[in-house]
Structure 1
Amino acid sequence: MSLEDIPGVVEIENLSFPTPWSESSFRYELQENPYASLFVARTRELTTVIAFACLWIVDQEVKINNIAVHPVYRARGVGTRFLRFLIDHAASQGCREVTLEVRPSNQAALSLYRKAGFVPIGRRKQYYTDTHEDAIVMWLRVEPRAAP
């Protein structure tokens, strides 16, 4: 992800979440946070951002903090391919596990994560401040490997 991608990322963020991250939050993650890695997926023409993710990589663990696909591109395999890319990236960085939180009401995301091999390992009570909904904590074991 580059600074030029942020407007497209913010658009997807606003369309995807009831309490979206701000533009300044993405700028901070991109420019200031030493643990953050941000990625985008684009159309084949490479002109439009259609998905994004913000990861934190600490030691041998990746935490997916934020991930979304533009609503127009959902249910087309974009999320599956993008998540697989992120998992492969984690493995190439020598990571052994990937974690994330997801709303129980987000059935599409839960299905995506389960299909990718994530398993629920706990709950964070009233994690989401907008609805006081719990978060399901999910975990995936990955085999670390050297970057190509």
Structure 2
Amino acid sequence: MCDEENQVIIRPMDFDDIEQIVEIEKACFSSPWSAYAFECELHDNQFANYLVVALAEDESKLVGYGGLWVIIDEGHITNIAILPEYRGKKLGELLMLNLIQIALAKDTTRMTLEVRASNNAAIKLYEKFGFKTEGVRKGYYIHPREDALIMWAKLV
């Protein structure tokens, strides 16, 4: 899918993307996933759906990605990451919209995710899509130690 307003392409992640995805992870998260973790997600996880955000002017340049597991009728957002220099351009919203469309196409009725309690920008993004905080995972994040909010949204 190409978004003319943002000049980006959103497409499924493939193995050739993993090197750039790991760099995005390092730029966005204090405990980044490894290349091996993404290889396992793409190769072994039948529930996994991953998308990447590429620049339309240079499709080889990835600026973000997102992941979703669909298990029976529930979707679980695993990660959403946009490089810091590309934030504020509604790319996170576009990515979320595409992940929700995948979930709906697979007859998902609810979605969940965990988010750092201090990540106000992400929390606001998720609330735009109807996510509400329904619980806390104490000490879920390690570097630095922090609670995670458990958010849920009904899709239908």
TM over 0.5: yes
Match of 2:79 in 1: 66
1:88 lines up with 2:101 in the alignment:
yes
The Cα offsets for residues 14-69 of structure 1, whole Å up to 9 and x where unpaired, read as 00000100111111111111221111111113221111112211000110111101
Which of 36, 41, 56 is equivalent to 1:29? 41
Secondary structure of the residue aligned to 2:139 is coil
TM-score (norm 2): 0.88
* Counterpart residue type for residue 21 of structure 2: V
TM-score (norm 1): 0.92
Cα pair 2:80 2:92 within 8 Å, conserved: no
Unaligned runs of 5+ in 2: 1-12
How many pairs align? 143
Report the aligned-residue RMSD: 1.0
Q: CA deviation at 1:105?
A: 1.2
Q: Distance in 2 between matches of 1:64 and 1:103?
A: 14
Which of 108, 126, 137 is equivalent to 2:139? 126
Q: CA deviation at 1:134?
A: 0.7
* Counterpart residue type for residue 50 of structure 2: L
Q: CA deviation at 1:129?
A: 2.1
* Counterpart residue type for residue 121 of structure 2: A
Which of 77, 89, 97 is equivalent to 1:76? 89
Match of 1:146 in 2: none
Q: Distance in 1 between matches of 2:111 and 2:148?
A: 16
Which of 60, 68, 75 is equivalent to 1:55? 68
Match of 1:44 in 2: 56
Q: Distance in 1 between matches of 2:120 and 2:84?
A: 15
Q: CA deviation at 1:117?
A: 1.4
Unaligned runs of 5+ in 1: 144-148
Q: CA deviation at 1:5?
A: 0.7
Q: Distance in 1 between matches of 2:99 and 2:46?
A: 18
Higher strand share: 2
Match of 2:19 in 1: 7
| Percent of pairs with identical residues | 39
1:16 lines up with 2:21 in the alignment:
no
Q: CA deviation at 1:130?
A: 2.3
* Counterpart residue type for residue 27 of structure 2: L
